[in-house]
């Protein structure tokens, strides 16, 4: 129960006219407490004096009794003495007053001060605020209850003039304790609650309104670890805050006081919105909040004279209606809420922003923060865009044009700092800035709390979506470019970053590669325009910004934009200017700026990699195109400038990072960005005089954050553009080895991850599906040399570094990224070292290390040079089986994955080596694997999905001689029943998909007794049920493929089971388009393909006893649908032969003629069938129907 105040509250009885010789300071959370000064200016007393004074006063207070004759005078004196001391630990950290002593003092004092002595009540309330706020006391429940009762009674009994002081104390008492105040909330926040009464817009006393709102904000404040305030009271407070924000300023109210009231309401709204999802109603409430926040984002901004709407309405989003372009949405709000557009003149002059020299007034937008916020508005670049209603057509008024000029274009005499009433004006500017900042903080909470999909409809109110040329709307970009406060600009950038974060799916619709239609603007084009406007405005902000903290936010915002925008669907040219514009900032004196620049470069080489535009930029020599990289702020950017240097000299120093060249940079053998990152990681800085003061002397390296980010960029380059950096293979290895050899664990970790990315990139080159020409791959011999050097270097030490398990984990991942072809050519002792190290690390006590080691063994078991080694397979199997019993679910999940890979290897060896390998592998080991996989199939889903995969492989691998052994029979039945149970379960679709695949895999084993086993009927029944009823089409596809696996008619059992399978497949084919989920519908063609193949497979295996039932199916309506689908399948008319089915069932070719030939052979076989047993007449008539059906299908297929 923290007792602090988040918002200041000045006592109401202090009149603004009663100004003494020295300025009176209101007692508040932000104001420094009164401290007596000696004649020499030094503070009187010390921390020990403060503690002794508190103890002395507390003792005297405890000795007082309510019936004392001098009680009033003594209390007055003691309160004054206690209030005169400064107990703030930031003032003196040695002050040590126990919280229980403070609580005891306040409880006793509240018993001594009667409510009839109102001046003493006020002093006690001041003391409560003073002690609890400065000493950060966490009250016990009894103290909280006593003080709440006292202040609540004071509000009921005492005169109105005391209420602001009482509410000040109450705001401190309830700070973060809202849920614990439930007994008093009905009196405070009920229908006629005192806080609602005093916070109402009809309350004439602005100080009472402010302090009441402060109390409500502190009640809503949630301390981490504590339960939130009840939704009922939170909603009451929310409505009160929103009502305050929408209420106009009373005509007789001072602007400064009004700003303070709005700040309190904004802080309260932020407390309501923070830490959870939006719970305050639907679109109308959200639109009302956004409208109020958008208006307050521009509070006190010169030149803004518009009629603000009361509600913002969302635009329709056509991308959620089928991903089709739609007409630009029209305003949906009433005409009375529409904005009143204005005009902006002097655009020609403002185009030269950043071209002129800095003047004195430009310094007002420097690094000093809000304290020097001026009325002038620099950064006057246009933020273009046409009006789209919903309040985003607000514009700057014509009369205020001069104030929109850049600060350096104004004369010094025009500055607000020359005003004789500068103090009052600066306070008003400061509070206007705080209102804007508070509004943006609230907007940030809204962005984080409202569902992304809902918020997308309001984007056009905060981000322009039309090109420059019209009246510029008031958006976040207006604030970023023109607000005089760097803190406000930084807040706007944080909001924009939060909106862009995670917006990839929304922005993916954007496209402007084709010319837009003249009749209407497609939504995709509007979205692409918004992306271009963001690029343009943020690039301007980059040029104009002088505050390092805000500059960092600009670059981070650009990184979010780059990471989410679909540049492959946009016209090229957006990234090239940004790429070159960022280069000079790599020499900024602020470390955070340099780190953010590297983060942006990382985003550039990550987005949709490999992107052609980025490939061209990477291939360009480092010195090309850098002439346009000079910015007007280079005098502030460059930390390398020397005293006495001229502007032209400074300009020459900022074209490109020549100082960061590596020795071999001139040969252009690798991307300049890679060379830059290598130099940042390895080379000492020539002038380490940056903001972090990195080291001393000329040998100081870049600060650790810069080096870490450079290593990240190198990893991104290797991942996305391996073809461009592969010639730098040895250098990358040397950088990684150097990093692994350093003492900083973070540097070591990033060095290991760089190696892993490089290994993974090489492996991707050699994957057949990637179709990388052999001439473009890294030669195997070079890969072997690379890994030989790496494995003989400091990587071994990292693998054995038990003090840093995260580093060990990354080193294990590095070992698993060796190219299999290269591993086979490594020296035998090196191979043995890798295997031994991984087997040993599976016994690590750290679950992260164990997980990585088990996973690496699961990779190695697939290596062709190791998979036929029975001893290695056995060692790996025993290690994996031990890991499957680990208490960590992550270890078990990776062990199940590795077991799945190991059993994949068994199948490959069975097909390539044959019976010899099966006989060499221990029966007991196979039995252990079967039992372990069966147990794992009942584990968590992430374990189960690979456990069932392993079961399918093991059931496929077992030989006839093993299945007939009594030791195998019960585990065999348990394994199949586990698969059946998983198929029928409510597990995730991936688990059920794998279980269906596993049953199909098991059916491939000809030794499996499908015709006689008691579990066979359950297996077919489960698959038939899933293929007709499962909502997930991929699960249906796998179940249909499994039903088509058995290669003999006997595997399907009697006629009843065979026809059950047939009818299930036929029903599934009939319903193959029945789905409400668009994501599933895209698999419907593949499903029909697999079902058609499965039906033809059953016809191919059918016998005479099956003919009557097949004829009954084919002769009715069901047969017409089957015929239509089979014809499309045979002609290959449907797309999506995607062929989940053919690949899994070993089906015929995709060639239509081959499919028809196979059906003709089936027809010939059926014509030769002889009726057997009972019902021969029915069999013959049924055969005629089936043969006639197939003849019709073939004739139709042969027609042109």
Higher-pLDDT residue of 832, 659 = 832
Least confident of 279-293, 696-710, 990-1004: 696-710
Whether the predicted model's global pTM rises above the 0.75 cut: yes
Q: Would you say 447 and 270 are in contact if contact means Cβ atoms under 8 Å apart?
A: no
For residue 57, pLDDT over 50 is answered with: yes
pLDDT (0 to 100) of residue 688 = 54
Share of the chain above pLDDT 70, in %: 79
Residue 22 is predicted with a pLDDT of 39
Q: Taking residues 1151-1161, what's their average pLDDT?
A: 86
Q: Which residue has the higher pLDDT, 956 or 1077?
A: 956
Higher pLDDT: 877 or 375? It is 877
* Residue given tokens 């001069």 in the structure block: 402
Query: For residues 794 and 784, what is the distance between their CA atoms, to the nearest angstrom?
Result: 17
pLDDT given for residue 317 in this prediction: 62
Q: How is residue 535 written in tokens? A: 């690029």
CA–CA distance, 704 with 694 (Å, rounded to integer): 9
Alpha-carbon span 580 to 626, nearest angstrom: 6
| 658 pLDDT more than 80 | no
The answer, yes or no, to whether residue 344 has pLDDT greater than 50, is no
Q: Which two tokens stand for residue 294?
A: 């958008």
- Please check the confidence at residue 14 and state whether its pLDDT lies above 60: no
pLDDT grade for 48, boundaries at 50, 70 and 90: low
Q: Which of 259-268, 917-926, 1006-1015 has the highest mean pLDDT?
A: 259-268
* Cα 641 to Cα 643: distance, rounded to the nearest angstrom: 7
Bin 356: left if φ > 0, else alpha if -120 < ψ < 50, else beta.
beta
Residues contacting 637, CB < 8 A, separation 6+: 584, 585, 587, 588, 589, 631, 654
How many whole angstroms separate alpha carbon 264 and alpha carbon 215? 9
Q: Peptide bond before 610: cis, by omega within 30 degrees of 0?
A: yes
Q: Which residue, among 815, 943, 925, has the nearest Cα to 886 in the 3D structure?
A: 943
Any idea which residue has 């960022």 for tokens?
582
Gap between the Cα atoms of 101 and 94, Å rounded: 17
Residue 25 CA to residue 32 CA, distance in Å, equals: 8
pLDDT of 1099 reads 92
Sequence-distant (≥ 6) Cβ neighbours of residue 1129 within 8 angstroms: 1088, 1089, 1092, 1093, 1096, 1155
pLDDT digit string, tens, across residues 676-725: 999 999 988 766 555 454 444 446 889 999 999 999 999 999 999 998 88
Q: Quick one: CA torsion of 328, 330, 333, 338, rounded to 10 degrees?
A: 100
| Radius of gyration for the alpha carbons in the chain, expressed in angstroms and rounded | 38
Residue whose pair of structure tokens reads 């989920």 in the numeric block:
1077
Nearest residue to 930 via CA among 976, 892, 961: 976
- Let me know: does 339 contact 393? Beta carbons within 8 Å: yes
pLDDT top residue among 142 and 22: 142
In this structure, of 217-231, 953-967, 1058-1072, the range with the lowest mean pLDDT score is 217-231
The mean predicted confidence, pLDDT, of the chain is: 80
Left, alpha or beta for 82 (phi > 0: left; psi -120 to 50: alpha)? alpha
Residue 1156's nearest CA partner among 1096, 1200, 1087, 1070 is 1096
DSSP code of residue 2: B
Question: Which segment of 454-468, 526-540, 1001-1015, 1131-1145 scores lowest on mean pLDDT?
Answer: 1131-1145
The residues, any chain, with a CB within 8 Å of residue 22's CB and separated by 6 or more, are: none
pLDDT at 646 over 80: no
Q: For the segment 499-554, what is each residue's pLDDT rounded down to a tens digit?
A: 999 999 999 988 888 776 666 778 888 899 899 999 999 999 999 998 999 999 99
Contact between 146 and 124 under an 8 Å Cβ cutoff? The reply is no
Angle between the N-to-C axes of helices 828-841 and 805-815, in degrees from 0 to 180, rounded to the nearest 10: 140
Is 839's pLDDT higher than 90?
yes
The secondary structure element, H or E, covering residue 1162 is helix 1152-1167
Phi, psi of 1076 (to 5 degrees): -100, 0
CA distance linking residue 709 with residue 1103, whole number of Å: 69
Alpha-carbon gap, residue 726 to 106, rounded angstroms: 72
**DSSP symbol at 726:** G
Q: How many CA atoms, within 13 angstroms, populate the side-chain half-sphere of residue 262?
A: 29
pLDDT > 90 fraction of the chain, expressed in percent and rounded? 44
User: pLDDT of 164-185, one tens digit each?
Assistant: 999 999 999 999 888 888 888 8
Phi, psi of 2 (to 5 degrees): -70, 145
**Spatial CA neighbour of 79 closest among 25, 35, 29, 119:** 119
Residue pair 632/743 in contact by the 8 Å Cβ criterion: no
**Which of 268, 177, 190 is CA-nearest to residue 227?**
177
pLDDT tens per residue, range 543-582: 999 899 999 999 999 999 999 999 999 999 999 999 999 9
Residue 86 has pLDDT above 70, yes or no: yes
User: Regarding predicted confidence, which is higher, 40 or 194?
Assistant: 194
**How many Å apart are CA 51 and CA 106, to the nearest integer?**
16
3-state SS string for 1027-1043: HHHCCCHHHHHHHHHHH
| Range from 260-264, 791-795, 878-882 carrying the lowest mean pLDDT | 791-795
Confidence bin at 28 (pLDDT 50/70/90): very low
pLDDT tens digits, 1040-1087: 999 999 999 999 989 999 999 999 999 999 888 777 666 777 788 889
pLDDT bin (cut points 50, 70, 90) of residue 1037 is very high
396 - beta bridge partners?
304
pLDDT, position 659:
35
pLDDT in tens, 742-757: 999 999 999 999 999 9
What span, in angstroms and rounded, lies between the C-alpha atoms of 1096 and 339?
A: 67
Identify the residue whose tokens are 């129960």. Answer: 1
Res 71: pLDDT: 85
pLDDT at 244: 93
Task: Dig out the tokens for 641 from the structure.
Answer: 């400038």
Between CA 837 and CA 1182 the distance in angstroms is 67
Q: For the residues of 453-480, what is the DSSP string, one character each?
A: HHHGGGHHHHS--S-BTBPPP--HHHHH
Q: Beta partners for 719? A: none
Q: What is the pLDDT of residue 689?
A: 52
Residue 1144 has pLDDT above 90, yes or no: no
CA distance 1151 to 535: 50
Of 266, 189, 264, 276, the residue nearest 228 (C-alpha): 276
Strand, coil or helix: what is 400?
A: helix
pLDDT at 365 over 70: no
Check residue 770 and report its DSSP letter.
G
Please give the pLDDT value at position 1135. 55
- pLDDT average, residue stretch 107-123: 91
**Predicted confidence (pLDDT) at residue 87 exceeds the cutoff of 50:** yes
CA end-to-end span of the chain? 84
Residue 641 has a pLDDT of 37
Q: What integer is the mean pLDDT of 1174-1180?
A: 82
Are the C-beta atoms of residues 705 and 591 closer than 8 Å to each other? yes
Q: Where are the alpha helices (DSSP H) in 960-1032?
A: 960-963, 966-984, 989-1003, 1016-1029
| Sign of the C-alpha dihedral computed for residues 143, 149, 151 and 157 taken in this order | negative
Contacts of 377 (CB under 8 A, 6+ apart): 301, 302, 303, 403, 404, 405, 407, 482, 483, 484
Q: φ, ψ for residue 588 (rounded to 5)?
A: -65, 145
Which position has the higher pLDDT, 649 or 443? Answer: 443
CA dihedral of 370, 375, 379, 382, whole degrees rounded to 10: 130
pLDDT value, residue 1143:
43
Residues 1101, 1102, 1104, CA angle at the centre, nearest 5°? 140
The whole-number average pLDDT for the span 447-467 is 88
Q: Indicate if the pLDDT at residue 44 is higher than 50.
A: no
């Amino acid at each position: 129960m923290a007792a602090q105040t988040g918002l200041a509250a000045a006592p109401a009885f202090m009149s603004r006219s009663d100004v003494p010789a020295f300025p009176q300071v209101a007692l508040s959370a932000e104001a420094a407490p009164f401290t007596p000064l000696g004649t020499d200016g030094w503070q009187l007393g010390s921390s020990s004096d403060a503690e002794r004074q508190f103890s002395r006063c507390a003792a005297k207070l405890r000795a007082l009794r309510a019936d004392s004759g001098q009680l009033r005078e003594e209390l007055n004196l003691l309160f004054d003495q206690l209030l005169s001391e400064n107990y703030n630990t930031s003032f003196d950290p040695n002050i040590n007053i126990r919280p229980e002593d403070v609580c005891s003092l306040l409880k006793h004092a509240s018993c001594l001060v009667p409510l009839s002595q109102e001046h003493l009540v006020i002093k006690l309330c001041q003391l409560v605020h003073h002690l609890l706020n400065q000493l950060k006391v966490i009250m016990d429940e009894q103290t909280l209850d006593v003080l709440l009762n006292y202040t609540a009674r004071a509000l009921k009994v005492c005169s109105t003039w005391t209420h602001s002081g009482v509410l000040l104390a109450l705001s401190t008492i309830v700070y973060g304790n809202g849920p614990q105040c439930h007994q008093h909330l009905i009196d405070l926040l009920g229908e006629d609650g005192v806080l609602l009464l005093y916070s109402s817009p009809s309350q004439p006393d602005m100080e009472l309104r402010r302090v009441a709102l402060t109390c409500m904000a502190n009640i809503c404040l949630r301390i981490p670890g504590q339960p939130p305030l009840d939704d009922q009271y939170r909603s009451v407070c929310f409505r009160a805050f929103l009502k305050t924000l929408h209420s106009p300023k009373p005509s007789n109210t001072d602007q400064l006081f009004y700003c303070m009231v709005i700040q309190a309401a904004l802080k309260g709204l932020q407390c309501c919105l923070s830490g959870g999802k939006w719970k305050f109603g639907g679109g109308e409430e959200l639109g009302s909040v956004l409208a109020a926040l958008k208006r307050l984002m521009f509070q006190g901004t010169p030149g803004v004279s518009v009629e603000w709407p009361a509600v913002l309405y969302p635009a329709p989003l056509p991308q959620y209606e089928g991903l089709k372009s739609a007409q630009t949405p029209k305003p949906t709000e009433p005409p009375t809420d529409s904005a009143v557009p204005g005009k902006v003149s002097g655009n020609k002059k403002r185009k030269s922003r950043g071209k002129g020299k800095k003047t004195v007034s430009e310094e007002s937008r420097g690094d000093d923060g809000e304290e020097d916020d001026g009325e002038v508005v620099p950064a006057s670049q246009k933020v273009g865009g046409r009006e789209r209603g919903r309040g985003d057509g607000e514009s700057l008024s014509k009369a205020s044009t001069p104030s929109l000029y850049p600060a350096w274009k104004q004369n010094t005499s025009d500055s607000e700092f020359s005003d004789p009433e500068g103090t009052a004006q600066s306070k008003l500017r400061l509070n206007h800035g705080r209102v804007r900042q508070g509004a943006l903080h609230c907007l940030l909470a809204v962005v984080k709390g409202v569902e992304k999909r809902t918020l997308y409809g309001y984007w056009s109110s905060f981000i322009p979506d039309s090109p420059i040329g019209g009246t510029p709307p008031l958006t976040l970009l207006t604030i970023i470019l023109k607000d005089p406060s760097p803190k406000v600009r930084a807040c706007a950038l944080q909001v924009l970053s939060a909106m862009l974060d995670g917006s990839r799916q929304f922005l993916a619709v954007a496209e402007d590669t084709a010319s837009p239609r003249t009749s209407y603007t497609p939504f995709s084009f509007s979205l692409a325009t918004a992306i271009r406007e963001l690029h343009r405005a943020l690039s301007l902000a980059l040029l104009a910004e002088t505050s390092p903290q805000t500059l960092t936010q600009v670059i981070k915002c650009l990184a979010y934009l780059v990471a989410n925008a679909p540049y492959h669907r946009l016209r090229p040219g957006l990234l090239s200017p940004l790429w070159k514009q960022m280069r000079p900032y790599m020499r900024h004196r602020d470390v955070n700026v340099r780190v953010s620049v590297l983060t942006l470069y990382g985003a550039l080489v990550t987005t949709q990699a490999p992107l052609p535009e980025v490939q061209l930029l990477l291939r360009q020599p480092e010195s090309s195109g850098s002439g346009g990289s000079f910015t007007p702020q280079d005098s502030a950017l460059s930390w390398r400038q020397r005293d006495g240097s001229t502007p032209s000299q400074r300009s020459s120093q900022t074209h490109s990072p020549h100082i960061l060249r590596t020795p071999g940079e001139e040969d252009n053998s690798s991307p300049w960005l890679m060379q830059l990152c290598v130099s940042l990681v390895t080379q000492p800085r020539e002038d380490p005089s940056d903001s972090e003061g990195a080291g001393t002397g000329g040998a100081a390296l870049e600060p650790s954050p810069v080096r870490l980010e450079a290593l990240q960029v190198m990893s991104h380059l290797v991942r996305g553009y391996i073809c461009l950096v592969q010639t730098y293979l040895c250098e990358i290895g040397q950088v990684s080895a150097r990093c692994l050899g350093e003492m900083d664990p973070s540097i070591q970790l990033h060095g290991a991850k760089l190696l892993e990315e490089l290994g993974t990139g090489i492996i991707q080159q050699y994957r057949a599906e990637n179709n990388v020409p052999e001439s473009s791959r890294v030669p195997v011999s070079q890969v072997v040399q690379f890994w030989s050097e790496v494995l003989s270097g400091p990587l071994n030490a990292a693998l054995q570094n038990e003090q840093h398990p995260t580093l060990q984990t990354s080193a294990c991942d590095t070992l698993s990224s060796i190219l299999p072809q290269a591993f086979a050519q490594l020296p035998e002792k090196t191979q043995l070292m890798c295997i031994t190290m991984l087997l040993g690390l599976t016994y690590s006590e750290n679950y992260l290390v164990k997980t990585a080691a088990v996973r690496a063994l699961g990779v190695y078991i697939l290596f062709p040079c190791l998979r036929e080694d029975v001893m290695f397979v056995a060692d790996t199997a025993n290690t994996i089986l031990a890991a499957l019993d680990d208490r960590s679910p992550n270890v078990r999940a990776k062990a199940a994955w590795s077991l799945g890979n190991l059993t994949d290897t068994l199948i490959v060896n069975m097909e390539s080596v044959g019976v010899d390998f099966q006989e060499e592998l221990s029966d007991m080991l196979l039995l252990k694997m079967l039992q372990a996989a069966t147990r794992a199939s009942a584990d968590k889903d992430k374990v189960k999905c690979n456990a069932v995969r392993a079961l399918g492989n093991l059931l496929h691998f077992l030989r006839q001689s093993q299945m007939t052994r009594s030791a195998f029979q019960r585990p065999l039945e348990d394994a199949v029943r586990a698969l059946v149970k998983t198929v029928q379960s409510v597990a995730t679709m991936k688990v059920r998909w794998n279980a269906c695949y596993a049953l199909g895999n098991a059916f491939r084993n000809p030794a499996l007794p499908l015709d006689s086993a008691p579990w066979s009927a359950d297996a077919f029944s489960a698959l038939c049920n899933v293929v007709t009823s499962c909502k997930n089409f991929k699960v249906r596809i796998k179940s249909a493929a499994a039903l088509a696996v058995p290669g003999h008619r006997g595997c399907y059992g009697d006629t009843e089971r065979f026809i059950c399978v047939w009818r299930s497949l036929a029903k599934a084919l009939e319903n193959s388009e029945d789905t409400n989920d668009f994501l599933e519908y895209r698999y419907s063609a593949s499903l029909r393909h697999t079902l058609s193949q499965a039906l033809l497979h059953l016809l191919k295996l059918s016998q005479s006893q099956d003919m009557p039932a097949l004829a009954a199916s084919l002769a009715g309506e069901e047969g017409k649908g089957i015929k239509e689908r089979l014809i499309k399948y045979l002609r290959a008319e449907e797309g999506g032969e995607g062929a989940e089915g053919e690949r899994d069932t070993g089906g015929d070719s995709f060639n239509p003629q081959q499919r028809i030939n196979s059906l003709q052979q089936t027809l010939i076989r059926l014509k030769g069938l002889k009726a057997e047993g009972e019902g021969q007449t029915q069999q013959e008539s049924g055969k005629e129907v089936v043969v006639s059906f197939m003849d019709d299908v073939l004739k139709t297929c042969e027609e042109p």
